[in-house]
Amino acid sequence: MQISANKLLFISTPVGALGTGIGGGVELTLFNITKEMTRRGYKVEVIAPQGSVMQPFIVKEISGELQIPGQTQTRTSPITMPKNSVLANMWEYARQVQAEYDLIVNFAYDWLPFYLTPFFQIPIAHLISMASYTDAMDRIIEQVATKFPGTIGVHTQTQAATFQLEQECTCLLNGLDLSIYQFCVQPSHNLAWVGRITPEKGLEDAVAAAKIAGIPLKIFGVIQDETYWQNICQDYPTETIKYMGFLSTFELQKELSKCLGLLVTSRVVEAFGNVAIEALACGVPLIAYRRGGLTEIVQEGKTGFLVEPDSVPGLVDAISRLNEIDRYACRQQAEATYSLEAMGDRVEKWFKGILNR
């Protein structure tokens, strides 16, 4: 029978309000999936922490204390919940309104939504935004993957492998509204780095490599760890570092598209690499540590270079080879694989698989 799967309830990450950048890549992912499923005729409602803004979409704001970021936890960290948890409050609201929807989609990398899955009357799809960080999360994800086959979505196989989930999950990659990203034929003499400014993103390596290469580095993103940022600024002269702030997508792509290349220096296994496909969409070649989801995005020698992890000399060598990359090949990869249309097909197929089960 045809299920009219046209009512979706998206529940956001509890680590920060949408629009602040604290939610990292999941903010862009949530926005793009909302945009594409709305375009395809689905009714999408979004629940997110107080203060969230996601123009032009309406967000149901829920108050409460933000959740501790998962990447700050250790493998054996117990699950913690603040007394007035925004995560718990968002899911209590969802429990009350669930009858109005066909499917709930969880965007939080947290234990509670997975634990609550069997208690809900409608199906819940879980889009996992990070690789494995803690034993407690691994366990509850694997339990849901077993009990509710087909409901776990990931961005890459590399990410799935960190949970030993290669078989039981749907690989969505990610997608962007490519019409926002403008291609620039004649780049200026700058490199780019984009991301939350915090130790796990390895910004200091990108600055070190840019200094050795003698090319200024434009840095885009929210300063999440002030001390970390101050230490970098003190260690490097101003002519190497140009902090551009946390920009809107439109402003970011305008600056990013003019850069020679994007350096991706993450210390941890990234589930995907939203900033990497944004760069490709602008025709900007990638230089990334051979780690995590980036290994499934960079086409070696064609759209960028994969570098030995944590090797600054490796970054410097790749920077010297950027002129080997055809910038248009970068844009073409984005058009072939990371368009909103292509992502929408993958996501809609995932949703239908759950609803028709």
The residues of the shown chain that bind ligand HBI, judged by CB under 6 A, are 13-15, 23-26, 67, 69-71, 108-110, 129-130
Residues near 189 by Cβ (< 8 Å), separated by ≥ 6?
215, 216, 260
Report CA Rg, the chain. Answer: 20
Residue among 70 and 123 whose Cβ is closer to ligand HBI: 70
In DSSP terms, 315 is beta-bridged to: none
Looking at beta carbons, which residue is closest to ligand HBI? 24
Q: Residue 278, exposed/middle/buried by CB under 10 A (0-12, 13-18, 19+)?
A: buried
Residue among 22 and 312 whose Cβ is closer to ligand HBI: 22
Residue among 102 and 110 whose Cβ is closer to ligand HBI: 110
Rounded to a whole number of angstroms, the minimum distance from the CB of residue 19 to ligand HBI is 13
Rounded to a whole number of angstroms, the minimum distance from the CB of residue 345 to ligand HBI is 22
Q: What tokens does 323 get?
A: 């002129």
Residue among 201 and 327 whose Cβ is closer to ligand HBI: 201
Rounded to a whole number of angstroms, the minimum distance from the CB of residue 214 to ligand HBI is 33
Residue among 27 and 45 whose Cβ is closer to ligand HBI: 27
Residue among 70 and 314 whose Cβ is closer to ligand HBI: 70
Rounded to a whole number of angstroms, the minimum distance from the CB of residue 205 to ligand HBI is 20
Rounded to a whole number of angstroms, the minimum distance from the CB of residue 3 to ligand HBI is 28
Rounded to a whole number of angstroms, the minimum distance from the CB of residue 89 to ligand HBI is 15
Rounded to a whole number of angstroms, the minimum distance from the CB of residue 72 to ligand HBI is 8
Q: What are phi and psi of 86, to 5 degrees?
A: -65, -30
Antiparallel, parallel or unpaired: β 103-106 and 124-127: parallel
Closest listed residue to residue 89, CA positions, set 132, 60, 124, 127:
60
Q: Residue 274, exposed/middle/buried by CB under 10 A (0-12, 13-18, 19+)?
A: buried
Question: Contact, 17 vs 8, CB < 8 A?
Answer: no
| CA–CA gap between residue 203 and residue 225 (Å, rounded) | 12
Q: What tokens does 263 get?
A: 């350096």
Residue among 67 and 333 whose Cβ is closer to ligand HBI: 67
185 DSSP assignment? S
